[in-house]
Homo-oligomer: A and B are copies of this chain.
Amino acid sequence: MDFADKLRASGLRPTKQRLRICKTLFDRDKTFHFLVKDLVETLNEKTEDQKISVATVYNTVHAFKKSGYLKQLNIDPNHNYFDTNISHHHHFFDESTKELIDLNNDQVEKIEIKKTLPGKTISSVEILVKVENK
C-alpha cells in the first residue's frame, strides 16, 4: 500500500506535507519508534524544504493512530513514543541509551496468566523488558 492510499484510508487527502510525513515514517527498512517532537525536528531540519507545522504533524500522526497505521506505546511516563510496527509485539527498553528495540511475539514463550477477572476478557498482553549495560 503506498503512502497516498494509507492517507486516504485514514480519511486524509494526500497533500505534499502529509506525503513528506509518510516518507519519514514509513520509508524505512526497520521499525521506527519516535517522539513527535523528534519527528517535527527531522521533518524540518533540511532547510531547502518548506517547514511543516506541529499542528499538521500531530493531526497526521493521530489520524494514523486512529486508522491503525501507528501504535502509541507505554514505555516511559515522561515520553510519548509512537511505533510504525503495528503487528502485535513487545519491547526492550534500553535504560542506558533510552533506545527501544522490538521483541516479536514469537521470541517470547506464550504468557500464561493464572488470574482471571469475572466478566472481563483479555484484549491484549504486552511485555516491556528493561535492559541495561552488563
Contact = CB atoms under 8 A, between A and B. Distances in A.
Interface string A80-109: 100000000000101110000101100111
A34 to B, nearest CB: 13
B132 A121 contact: yes
Given A108-B114, A111-B108, A127 B125 contact: yes
Nearest to A131: B120
A123 B117 contact: no
B124 A129 contact: yes
A130 interface: yes
Interface stretch (A11-19, A25-33, A53-61, A68-76): A68-76
Given A95-B123, A123-B132, 7 more contacts: A72-B77, A74-B77, A108-B111, A119-B133, A123-B131, A124-B129, A126-B127
